[in-house]
Chain A
């Protein structure tokens, strides 16, 4: 069975500092990986996705993530965070080959930015 683990439930960071949010997955088949952001009282917005090709994926708002198959990781990074990045971030995985499959979400990492 596939699963997604986000080891850090909360990550406090100072403004303009770099940040890395960790995500590990388990799956015996090929995966498609996603990061979503949820601002307070809002729905989820897709930050970036890995389907195939280059393992370094660039997303919106200056975020990027690297797919590491040997370590089964898909960590999210940003070189310099802003107050507006305060939100909850969810790593997610889809496995399977149908044209639409259910997403398995991690439990989320709350990113709080200190001025």
Chain B
């Protein structure tokens, strides 16, 4: 039973390039969350998606960032025209669908983005 998978684990981009981060949720999970962790800080919520729907993007920067979770395939967090301030660890989490209040989110190992 594979956990949440993220790739790549490490990504280096030059300023102005695009970064694409992928997240495959746990089997059977239909909720995906993206968080960003800046150095020496806690995780900050970015976006919450269900299949083909963005439910809550209140933590996403207004420009250059976008996320999707298509019907087939992984969730993608896309950062266009990266800047040095985008350097961080990006974590994906997933949770199962349906009723109940377990509120438990399972985290992937993260993608560490370095912008040079």
Contact = CB atoms under 8 A, between A and B. Distances in A.
A108 B41 contact: yes
Interface of B: 4, 31, 33, 35, 41-45, 48, 56, 58-59, 91, 93, 95, 98-110
Contact of A100 (B43, B48, B58): B48
Interface string A92-107: 0010000111111111
Contacts of A104: 45
Interface string A34-67: 1010000011111001010000000000000000
21 contacts: A4-B42, A42-B109, A43-B110, A44-B93, A44-B107, A45-B107, A49-B104, A51-B103, A90-B42, A99-B98, A99-B100, A100-B48, A100-B105, A102-B58, A103-B105, A105-B35, A105-B42, A107-B41, A107-B42, A108-B41, A108-B42
Contacts, number: 59
A104 B45 CA distance: 7
A99 B55 CA distance: 12
Contacts of B103: 32, 34, 49, 51, 94, 100-101
Given A90-B43, A101-B103, A102-B33, 8 more contacts: A44-B93, A44-B107, A46-B104, A90-B42, A99-B98, A100-B103, A102-B45, A107-B42
Nearest to A107: B42
A87 B93 CA distance: 20
Nearest to A96: B103
A102 B48 CA distance: 7
A105 B43 contact: yes
A100 B103 CA distance: 6
Contacts of B107: 36, 43-45
